[in-house]
A and B are shown apart, each in its own frame.
Chain A
Amino acid sequence: MSNKRALRDNALLGLGLVLMVAALYMVFVYVPTEKNMGIVQRIFYFHVPIAWVSLLSFFITFIFSILYLWKREMKWDSVACASAEIGVVFTTLVLITGPIWAKPVWGIWWTWDARLSTSLVLWLIYVAYLLIRSFATEPARGARYGAVIGIVGFIDVPLVFLAVNLWRTQHPTTIVFEGGVTVPMLLTLIVCIVAFTTLYIILLVQSANLKIMDADIKHLKGMIQAE
């Protein structure tokens, strides 16, 4: 790894750490407790940024899948796959933290409402994306199949986002855009979103590097066999 790249990675890691500490301080010390839901509402400050990162991940997968199919360069596929992997991790967290919030507030862990159902479908689509890639016999074929799922599967992302407006759901609507939060709440949410977006970038860089290293190994193996 070059010195410049190591410096950039360390700077990004440092920034991520500072932002995450600031986010935790704001969530547990700075922001006031919400009147109706009480302390459990503080899950919202991490649940929403995690959901944002999961949708962003699949958007990046969508863009880089198009790039891969267009240019046929494996580096674009590496980014698409790395982003989908992170997206699945974060969607898993959304599907776990959502019910943990729902139980004390709604009295139930889960309901088949539009936002929850489309989120579960999104998770299933991208788990299938990762499974199909891992089962493919040739890397190029896996990348091609993955790119198609990465593009078609993205249809569910706007559905997840708009579900609360398109259908009558139990899930809270987009209260932030409707002015339903106070200034400290909004500030805390913004800091948390920036912190989690930085964490996503750190993970994406690391994960894409791993995929590139994996491709290097396959290339080296080919060279040894040719010798």
Chain B
Amino acid sequence: MDNIGYLFAAYTVIWAVVFGYALMMQKKQRQLQRKIKLLQDSLDKSKTNS
């Protein structure tokens, strides 16, 4: 069981980075969806006003 710490460190880093990246993308997707909805609403409003 020599060097198990190195193996643990390598796999922890891999999963932390992959999950971190996936979470970052998910957060950005939610932000962009919110932004699109706001812009769409304001576009619809300005169309009905004109």
Contacts and interface: CB of A to CB of B under 8 A. Distances in A.
Contact of A210 (B1, B18, B32): B32
A227 B47 contact: yes
Contact of B25 (A38, A210, A214, A223): A210
B3 A40 contact: yes
A220 B6 CA distance: 50
A223 B50 CA distance: 14
A104 to B, nearest CB: 4
Q: How large is the interface on B (under 10, 10 to 19, 20 to 34, 35 or more residues)?
A: 20 to 34
Given A104-B6, A206-B25, A213-B33, A39 B1 contact: yes
Contacts of B4: 39-40
Contact of A101 (B6, B32, B36, B50): B6
B19 to A, nearest CB: 11
A42 interface: yes
Interface in B1-50: 1-4, 6-7, 9-11, 13-14, 17-18, 21-22, 25, 28-29, 32-33, 35-36, 39-40, 42-43, 46-47, 50
Interface of A: 38-40, 42-43, 46-47, 50, 86, 89, 92-93, 96-97, 100-101, 103-104, 199, 203, 206-207, 209-210, 213-214, 216-217, 220-221, 223-224, 227
Interface of B: 1-4, 6-7, 9-11, 13-14, 17-18, 21-22, 25, 28-29, 32-33, 35-36, 39-40, 42-43, 46-47, 50
- The 6 A-B residue pairs with the shortest CB-CB distance, nearest first, are A220-B39, A40-B3, A104-B3, A213-B32, A100-B10, A43-B10
